[in-house]
Amino acid sequence: MEKDSINKLFTNLEGAFDINEPQEGHQNRFLDKLQEKESVITSSKKNISFWKPLSIAASIALISFLAITGLNNETTIEEQVAKISPEVSKSQIYFTSLIEEQIKELEKENTPETKKIIEDTLFQLNKLQKNYAQLEQDLINGGNSKLILSAMITNFQTRIDLLNDVLNQVETAKKLKNTYDENFTI
């Protein structure tokens, strides 16, 4: 069947084939045109190879710019809390600095005798900080503002009281150790 289709095709095309010899210089003209095309292709490849890294760099710069501006547009939790209650923001700065000072004092007192109590205190402070972060989120989400603000202040007071108690215990332990060392004679 296929041979019949092919034979039929050639029979229909008979006489339509160009069987004349090409004109003189045809091969030279063909090679010239081919070289022209190759030079155009080569120059366009050079242009493409130059633009490709440039376009990649531009894309990266654009994505970076969008990411940075997108991140800068988002307000932090502290900024949102400050919008809701500016007093809390001021109190937070004061209490946070006070707590940080007391933590530094506590870490200075870190000895083998006080190591366990200091570690436990820092663990409890971390839990209280997480609780405070949840209170901030609740305030932003529109909870009972007065109740949440009161809980936030109580959280700060609890952390300060905890640090004061531990610092007093450390001082007491140091005094007892000094008293014991003075009374102990060889």
5-40 in b/e form (b: 16+ CB < 10 A) is eeeeeeeeeeeeeeeeeeeeeeeeeeeeeeeeeeee
More confident position, 157 or 82: 157
Burial class (CB in 10 A: 0-12, 13-18, 19+), 158: middle
What is residue 67's predicted lDDT score, i.e. its pLDDT? 72
DSSP secondary structure letter of residue 58: H
Q: Which tokens belong to 147?
A: 């109740």
Residue 14 maps to a domain: no
Sign (positive or negative) of CA dihedral 110, 112, 117, 119: positive
Output the pTM of the full model.
0.53
* 177 pLDDT tier (thresholds 50, 70, 90): confident
Residue 173 maps to a domain: yes
Q: Which stretches does DSSP call E strand in the chain? A: none
pLDDT digits (tens, 9 = 90+) for 5-59: 888 877 877 777 767 777 777 788 888 887 877 766 665 555 556 667 777 777 7
Amino acid at 45: K
Within this chain, do residues 143 and 167 fall inside the same structural domain, yes or no?
yes
Residue 18 maps to a domain: no
pLDDT digits (tens, 9 = 90+) for 71-110: 555 566 666 666 666 777 777 788 888 888 888 888 888 8
